[in-house]
Structure 1
Amino acid sequence: MATLSIEQLDVTKLTTTDVAELAIRLEKDDYVNAFEGLSDWHLLRKIAFQRPEMVEPYLYLLDMEAYDEA
């Protein structure tokens, strides 16, 4: 998957292979700097909101918890 900014990426064109590669990078956590990892995390989060079925196997990487703001 080519490196694009999150704003430029069309999530609807991603394949399950693209998402799996993203998850593997996040699992390895072997980035040159923290910003690259954060960018991948935000991308996975964007995919989760727009196409939740694609990231279902990788939700543990997002560490998202339901909470009540009331």
Structure 2
Amino acid sequence: MQTFKYTELDVAKLTESDIEALAVRLEKDDYSSVFDGLEDWHLLRAIAFQRPELVEPYLHLLDLEAYDEA
């Protein structure tokens, strides 16, 4: 399974199908190395901060929680 390196990608150029493929890989969780899965997770997280509209259907994969900084 091929993963993307975040440093090699321009998040602004990613398409909905790119994000969907990333999410499918994360849902299958069939990586040869735990670090490959972690790289995909970090990429999805970076995309969520830069282009949240693309990641909205896959937020459950990020397990984000709201923090109360009060």
- Give the TM-score normalised by the residue count of structure 1: 0.91
Within 2, Cα distance between the matches of 1:69 and 1:40?
28
Structure with more relative contact order (C-alpha pairs < 8 Å, separation 6 or more): 2
> Within 5 Å, which residues of 2 pair with 1:46-65?
46-65=46-65
Aligned residue for 1:14? 14
SS state at 2:6 partner: coil
Within 2, Cα distance between the matches of 1:4 and 1:37?
10
Shift of 1:53: 0.1
Aligned residue for 2:28? 28
- Give the TM-score normalised by the residue count of structure 2: 0.91
Within 1, Cα distance between the matches of 2:69 and 2:48?
21
Matching residue's letter, 2:14: L
1:11-69: CA deviation from partner (whole Å, max 9, x where unpaired): 01100000000000000000001000000000000100000000000000000000113
Unmatched runs of 5 consecutive residues or more in structure 1: none
Matched length:
69
RMSD: 1.3
Counting aligned pairs with the same residue, the percent is 68
**Runs (4+) of structure 1 moved beyond 6 Å?**
none
Within 1, Cα distance between the matches of 2:4 and 2:57?
23
Within 1, Cα distance between the matches of 2:7 and 2:69?
28
